[in-house]
Structure 1
Amino acid sequence: MRAHYRFAQSARRTSLALCLASLIAVALALTGCGAASSSGSAQGGGYKLVEDGKLTVASDLATPPFEYVDDSGNDQGFTVELMDMIAQEMGLELNYLPAQKFDNIIPMAKQAVKTDVSACNITINDARKKEVDFTDPYMDSNQGVAVAKNSGYADTDSLNAAGVKIAVQSGTTSEEWAQENLPRATTVNFDDWTAAFTAVMSGQCQAVVCDLPVEQWMVNSSFTDMEIIEEVPTGERFGIAVSKDNPELTAAINAALKQIRADGRYDELYEKYFGTKPSSSDGASATGVDGDASASEGSSSTLQVTKATARSNEDGGTNVLGGIVTRLTWEATTGTEESVSKVTLALPEGGSFEDSSATVTVLNGLDRTDVKATAKVEKSNLAISFAAPLAAGSNVRIEVEGVVFPSSAGAYAVDGTYELADGGKRDLPTSPTIAVTESTVVQNIVRWLDDQAWVDAWNANPFLGMFFKPQYVVTSIASLFQGWGIALLVTAIGFPLAIPVGLLFAFMKMSRRRYLRGIAICYINFLRGTPLFLQIYIAFFGLPMIGLNLPNLPLGVAVLAINCSAYLAEIFRAGIESIGKGQHEAATALGMNWFQTMGLIIIPQSIRRVIPTMTSEFVMLYKDTSLLSSVGVMELMMFSKNLTATTGNITPYICAALYYLVVTIPLIHFVGKIEKKLAAGGTDAR
């Protein structure tokens, strides 16, 4: 009999394994076929569309004045109307998808399964260009820093301090700028700009860094008690993201955009939303106000280096690692008596500009000035030659992707020289130093994977490359560990706190006193009858307005514990009421009072009966910690969101799911065993 049982069990396992293997094989076959053909059909221009005759667009629809939903539920904004013009120019109907999360925008454009393009104030940069193609830029932009009025913060220097919290939208260049330029402050991520601005108004954060046009709109319309304290010239450009497998669509959109500019429709649309005509550069001015090209009062007669920073290249972290490619941002202001024709940047020994690409931006105030420049790389030196000498007092911004700093840790400065139009040559002033740390084991593993042929073949499959990219599996597992620890901490503290509160309200609901029952019913029904997401928003944005400004993590624990206590109250009540009245009568006959009866007789029996349900509630609480990511708590889901937004890949979400399963599967198995034991005990009793 036992042998037969083992054989049957083995057969079931074998069948299950074969079924799983078959499903995986079918999935791989389908995705392999998907690599060869597109889900859409080819149009007259040779491009493919998700839906015939329609240009489908993905956006978060939460960045006014570019994309937003008005009070009537209609899609509005500068980009929405521009996309409608482009669709009409192409002879297509515009189809905007429902609002998407910003961190999903790039992956959606890359896959091109549900959308043809993504248009959502997406800054064109080299990291994103590895995942998708971009159209010609349709808008120039800069960054802005806003604070509450009378906050006492006058500039970004005052914000760059320990204890200061900077609100940003997750996965944006605003987040990158804040981390790179305000390293002493803490960057707090939110799902959308409305939540970020609300965090500043409620006192949860001290400032918000945002695309300047969006920030101006927000401050002038919705958040009038805030003010912009600094407009940061970054020379960014917005583009429309298109799948790399659909270059014909990119070309068609570029042609339509060119025609819209040529016939004046772009200028009219720009003036409608920004009150002035765009500047003469390819994109439009972020502010619509002509910048002042003259040097400001107190400017130096010689070139001054104003900035030298490097973007963090540590996945999920904020450090700049040596020996691994990163982005260098170098800024300077030319002297009032100089005309610069060439700038040469030099890295310390062990650094390299090889395989790098440079982007040069010259800004007059906040407006971009077109400039032609050529770059020549010689290992640790990068020479930028300008076709025409730069005017005196120009702000020069050089961004270099693919820079490698020395492998050893240290504080490194970028030196070099610059040449004048008259042939003179001078040394660059000393630049701010960049703190570099040694490369980690994880990054070394990633570099090894980059050189493996099988990894290239694996990533060539669209499905595997998007959901299970080996490099991102390694970095995600390491990066998400900290977020997993936060999720476990919130659960481990919140659940024990919820138990006594739940037990208290269970007794109150069973009380003979009406007012106690009324309080318990209101408490339980409100918490169980409203979304936990709403309760989190009320706590995080409402409490600071009445003077209760708690740290994010303890507040998150409190909200989840209170919500969980309402469900536990009903679980405990049902367990207590399941004990027969005879138990109460027997305890009374033995001379026990109410407290003794409950503590020694009723509750111990009730706990045995509610353990499975309590464990299920524990699992729910653990998964609900993901909702805290919407208000800036850096737990597991927030870490995975940031990585997904940065990489344009879904692998971090898959790794986050594994972290959840590591806890939930053993608990579910534990509940099953408990239920079997309880069932067996009931059978024996009968």
Structure 2
Amino acid sequence: MTARTAAGELSDGGTRGDGADEPYRPSARRLAREAYHRRRARNSALIAALSTTGTALVLYLVVVNSPGWQRTRDTFFNAHYAWQALPEVLRGLRINLELMAVCGVLILVFGLLLAVLRTLRGPVFLPVRLLAAAYVDFFLGLPMIICLLIMITGVPALRLTGVITDPLLLGGAALVLTYSAYVSEVFRAGIQSVHPSQRAAARSLGLSNAQTMRYVVLPQAVRRVVPPLLNNLISLQKDTGLVSIGGVVDAVYAAKIITSQTFNYTPYLVSALVFIVLTIPMTRFTDWTTARMNRRRHQGGTV
């Protein structure tokens, strides 16, 4: 056997040269395998397109042939009222975006603080852990709408000196109180997912408990819970519309005003579509982040 033959054999049956004299050529088996995968991908794409088109067509025919479709189209899908409502809904959407940005930062900070308090070790911290657990249990069980009603209507009824009565601020406070409980559980799950050997290694290097939590545990925990945190942010973005129950003129309340004037519900649909347009990119970004982290985990990289 010559040196060229020994060096040119491949695991899939192909041969390659020893340099520029004989360039690599894939074997017939590999070419057939690649052609098979291409045909399979094309067939899968064709079947998916046909099934999706067929399903959409069936749904369309069912809707447009229903007895009340004409009335529903005039009430919910009126283009005239949609264009009339769009500027007002977009103007009110600014309130929702500002509320999401400010409350999102406060929720992350407060939720992380609650998670750290619940994971403190030692008998001396038992009262702190109990208080944090009681807070989380209470607001996890309290419906968001009830918390908003209590804050927006109950706090001003107390007539306390120096207490804010702005429904926007009170609604934002209700969002922070409720979502901090959810986010704290996400952070706590991330903290508990860090292997105890990480703490032991940090302590063996001379780090204190606080330093171990700050420099070893929290960085790993936060990276692991990024996808669920993004999902909570998406939910927060939608729930900012609930502050409209206090009279805040956001996107939802702007649609309500126009609906009360025209007796047409198309503005509500416009408001819903605006929220959907905002949510879809955030959802796709969450999916991309989750897939990226899964690939790194499977490849043995740092999560």
TM bin (shorter chain): 0.7 to 0.9
**TM-score (structure 2 length as normaliser):** 0.80
Name stretches of at least 5 consecutive residues in structure 2 with no aligned partner.
Answer: 1-36
Structure ranking higher in strand proportion: 1
**Alignment-derived partner of residue 57 in structure 2:** 21
Instruction: Select 1:496's aligned residue among 105, 123, 142.
Output: 105
Structure 1 residues 14 and 486: alpha-carbon distance in aligned structure 2, compared to 1, 3 A threshold: farther
- What does 1:93-112 align with in structure 2 at a 5 Å threshold? none
Is contact 1:477–1:655 with CA below 8 Å preserved after alignment?
yes
Equivalents in 2 of 1:607, 1:25: separation in Å? 48
Equivalents in 1 of 2:72, 2:154: separation in Å? 43
Structure ranking higher in helix proportion: 2
Is contact 1:494–1:561 with CA below 8 Å preserved after alignment?
yes
**Alignment-derived partner of residue 604 in structure 1:** 219
Pairwise CA distance, 1:619: 1.3
Letter in 1 for 2:57: A
Matched, 1:479 2:88: yes
Root-mean-square deviation (Å): 1.9
Letter in 1 for 2:290: E
Letter in 2 for 1:484: L
- What does 1:249-398 align with in structure 2 at a 5 Å threshold? none
Equivalents in 2 of 1:476, 1:543: separation in Å? 33
Pairwise CA distance, 1:2: 4.0
**Alignment-derived partner of residue 269 in structure 2:** 654
Equivalents in 2 of 1:13, 1:668: separation in Å? 23
**TM-score (structure 1 length as normaliser):** 0.36
**Alignment-derived partner of residue 129 in structure 2:** 517
Higher relative contact order (CA 8 A, sep 6+): 2
Letter in 1 for 2:64: L
- What does 1:186-265 align with in structure 2 at a 5 Å threshold? none
Letter in 1 for 2:95: I
Structure 1 residues 3 and 643: alpha-carbon distance in aligned structure 2, compared to 1, 3 A threshold: farther
Matched, 1:552 2:161: no
Equivalents in 1 of 2:57, 2:93: separation in Å? 30
Pairwise CA distance, 1:8: 1.7
Matched, 1:8 2:44: yes
**Alignment-derived partner of residue 149 in structure 2:** 537
Q: Deviations over 1:280-315 (max 9, x none)?
A: xxxxxxxxxxxxxxxxxxxxxxxxxxxxxxxxxxxx
**Alignment-derived partner of residue 158 in structure 1:** none
Is contact 2:198–2:216 with CA below 8 Å preserved after alignment?
yes
Pairwise CA distance, 1:616: 1.1
Q: Deviations over 1:384-432 (max 9, x none)?
A: xxxxxxxxxxxxxxxxxxxxxxxxxxxxxxxxxxxxxxxxxxxxxxxxx
**Alignment-derived partner of residue 566 in structure 1:** 181
Pairwise CA distance, 1:481: 0.3
**Alignment-derived partner of residue 72 in structure 2:** 463
Matched residue pairs, number? 259
Is contact 2:167–2:243 with CA below 8 Å preserved after alignment?
no
Equivalents in 2 of 1:643, 1:13: separation in Å? 39
**Alignment-derived partner of residue 247 in structure 2:** 632
Q: Secondary structure at the match of 2:225?
A: helix
Q: Deviations over 1:491-519 (max 9, x none)?
A: 11101111111111111112231110111
Equivalents in 1 of 2:103, 2:54: separation in Å? 41
Is contact 2:255–2:267 with CA below 8 Å preserved after alignment?
yes
Equivalents in 2 of 1:661, 1:534: separation in Å? 25
Equivalents in 1 of 2:154, 2:104: separation in Å? 24
Pairwise CA distance, 1:23: 0.9
Letter in 2 for 1:15: S
Pairwise CA distance, 1:7: 4.4
Equivalents in 1 of 2:43, 2:220: separation in Å? 39
Equivalents in 2 of 1:17, 1:477: separation in Å? 30
Name stretches of at least 5 consecutive residues in structure 1 with no aligned partner.
Answer: 36-460
Letter in 2 for 1:567: Y
**Alignment-derived partner of residue 143 in structure 1:** none
Letter in 1 for 2:139: L
Matched, 1:644 2:253: no
Equivalents in 1 of 2:228, 2:145: separation in Å? 23
Pairwise CA distance, 1:10: 4.5
Is contact 2:89–2:251 with CA below 8 Å preserved after alignment?
yes
Is contact 1:490–1:556 with CA below 8 Å preserved after alignment?
no
Equivalents in 1 of 2:91, 2:43: separation in Å? 44
Structure 1 residues 562 and 2: alpha-carbon distance in aligned structure 2, compared to 1, 3 A threshold: farther
Matched, 1:613 2:236: no
Structure 1 residues 585 and 6: alpha-carbon distance in aligned structure 2, compared to 1, 3 A threshold: farther
Q: Secondary structure at the match of 2:206?
A: coil
Q: Deviations over 1:305-335 (max 9, x none)?
A: xxxxxxxxxxxxxxxxxxxxxxxxxxxxxxx
Letter in 2 for 1:498: I
Matched, 1:527 2:150: no
Pairwise CA distance, 1:601: 1.9
Pairwise CA distance, 1:25: 2.2
Q: Deviations over 1:79-125 (max 9, x none)?
A: xxxxxxxxxxxxxxxxxxxxxxxxxxxxxxxxxxxxxxxxxxxxxxx
